Structure 1
Amino acid sequence: MNTKTILIVDDEPRTRQGLKKNLDTWANGNYQIITASNGEEAIQLLKQYKVHILITDIRMPEITGLELLKMAKELRIFPVILVISAYSEFEYAQEALRLGVINYLLKPISKKALIEAVEEALNEVERKERAGLIEKVVDTKLVEANTQNPSNREPIREAIDYINHNLQNELTQKEVADHVHLNPSYLSSLFKEHVKLTFSEYVTRRRIQRAKELLMTTNLPINDIAEESGYKTAKYFIKIFRELEGVTPSAYRKINNERAF
């Protein structure tokens, strides 16, 4: 993934520069640290960059830290937020929590407290990324299929496990039926009854979900993703992918990488 960006917003030059210096030393080039001297400048940077962590002072002239958070929310920009303040007013802390702040740091901030708070925020960024990835690739019909509780659940569960572990191979209904010791036609009717998808529909949806995971998490070429997902030709894979997702695999990757955390 791209380098994470941390935005520091504070109207006091000494505080702003001190925070940046400490974070630059800690980051050692692994993170991009940018600064803004007021809320208006911060909004422009939030629009320009994909900001992962926002560190903002509460009390600033014109646009306060809390107003900045509200404006970001209205723009549907959701970084992980740390608030800094020379004041410990209860109402500020309460409002900050309502706006999704994960930490409230009082000035003067020690280097240790700053680094600990930013490392905790990075863990939250990673958690949000994982949740976002799952949400993007999830197929609700597959979720429903895997949460069914059929009376003949053992052979169906075994069949699903076998399919999930052999997606890259050429799967036939007979092969899976043999694996679970059932007649192919009986497996077909059992599958449809309990999974609410036909055997071929389930295999196709599961393969496309696998392809989406690879498109989001790797830089593999489309040909390799087709093969890993069980398709002999990229042309056929692209056709099936477009039918289910409405876009080509390349377009899907581009769209979701641009939206990535």
Structure 2
Amino acid sequence: MSLSNRTILIVDDEPRTRQGIKQTLEVWAAGRYAVETCDNGVEARERLRQERVHLLITDVRMPEVSGLDLIRSLQDSAWKPVIIVISGYAEFDYVQQAMRLGAVNYLLKPLDKSELLSVVEDALKREEEQQRHVKLEKLVDHKLMEIDPDQAGMGQPVKDAIAYVEQHLHEQLTMAEVAGLIHLNASYFSVLFKEQAGVSFSEYLARLRIQRAKELLLQTSLSIGEIGERVGYRTDKYFIKVFKSLEQLSPSRYRHKMKGGSQEIH
């Protein structure tokens, strides 16, 4: 049994082709990937519903559930593997359909080992890039991204407040203190900030702190308490509470999932 939590699934109803690909990839992978097989599309479709597969290599034509059917069944899946299809020369129209459905490459029978490895390596690089994008998407706070100090309509006082908060995020900040620094009444500043930034000052501060915390969780090995302090929280308990309110999971669970300790990112 492979210790790898990354899986390549080969689906082909021809035993010789299926086993040949498996053996070639197992030698190449050297334990980096679990290389598994299915001899029909029905079994493969069920496995793909239940298990996380990173790369799917499937024949386009099989009885009952074809490779094309298999690819179509993945269209609404939360986790889509990268897909390579296998076909004979006479079936190239099926390959074209598979590419339109999202397959990244194809192999023609009889398979050439060096071509197989080249295509597989390229597909796995694409899969890693896709996962990187998924993680970056999870890392980014889109509400913060919408707050642009250079946008029309944002006055200098709010710009100054944003610049100050970004530079002093590790300190204990209050709205009254920041308003005072830019010579505004706190109540007026509160209304002005929400009107121009689109969120309240307290929400902006919390989101910015948690955004910075997420970066530290992934880029450092600092403890949860140390990260909380670095983004301006006096206690672990309050930091965890705010983090959970925005991310729906604790800082430690977030770090575990985003660093690949789990196959899920909720």
Give the TM-score, by structure 2 length. 0.78
Instruction: Look up the equivalent residue of 2:203 and give its one-letter code.
Output: E
SS in 2 for 1:29: coil
Given that 1:80 and 1:121 are in contact with CA atoms closer than 8 Å, whether structure 2 keeps it comes out as: yes
Do 1:173 and 1:184's aligned partners in 2 also have CA atoms closer than 8 Å? no
- Structure 1 position 144 matched with structure 2 position 146: yes
Give the counterpart of 1:62 among 64, 67, 87: 64
Instruction: Write the deviation string for residues 216-248 of structure 1: whole angstroms up to 9, x where unpaired.
Output: 777765434433443221111122234334554
The answer for the alignment partner of 2:264 in structure 1 is 259
Question: Given that residues 22 and 111 in structure 1 are in contact (C-alpha distance below 8 angstroms), is that contact kept between their aligned partners in structure 2?
Answer: yes
**Aligned twin of 1:19:** 21
User: Match of 1:89, SS?
Assistant: helix
Q: Tell me: CA distance 1:118–1:167, structure 2 relative to 1, closer, same or farther (3 Å).
A: farther
SS at match of 1:146: coil
Q: 1:32, CA displacement in angstroms? A: 1.4
Task: Please state how far the C-alpha of 1:215 moved relative to its aligned partner.
Answer: 5.6
Which range moved further: 144-153 or 21-30? 144-153
- Tell whether the 8 Å contact from 1:88 to 1:106 is kept in structure 2 after alignment: no
The count of corresponding residues between Structure 1 and Structure 2 is: 258
Counterpart position of 2:183: 183
Percent identity, aligned pairs only, is 48
Instruction: State the alpha-carbon separation in 2 of the partners of residues 152 and 191 from structure 1.
Output: 9
Contact 2:161 2:182 in 1 (8 A): no
Is the 1:53–1:122 contact (alpha carbons within 8 Å) kept by the matching residues of 2? Answer: yes
- 1:240 corresponding residue in structure 2: 242
Against the structure 1 CA distance between its residues 75 and 192, is the aligned structure 2 distance closer, same or farther, given a 3 Å change threshold? closer
Q: Which moved more, 1:198-207 or 1:58-67?
A: 198-207
Q: Which residue does the alignment assign to 2:49?
A: 47
Following the alignment from structure 1 to structure 2, what is the Cα–Cα distance between the partners of residues 196 and 74?
A: 33
Q: Contact between 1:54 and 1:82, CA under 8 Å: does it hold in 2?
A: yes
Where relative contact order (Cα < 8 A, 6+ residues apart) is larger, the structure is 1
List gaps (5 residues or longer) in structure 1.
none
Q: Structure 2: which 5+ runs fail to align? A: none
Within a 5 Å distance, the mapping from 1:170-209 to structure 2 comes to: 170-171=172-173, 182-183=182-183, 188=189, 191-209=193-211
Native 8 Å contact 1:10 1:38 kept in 2: yes
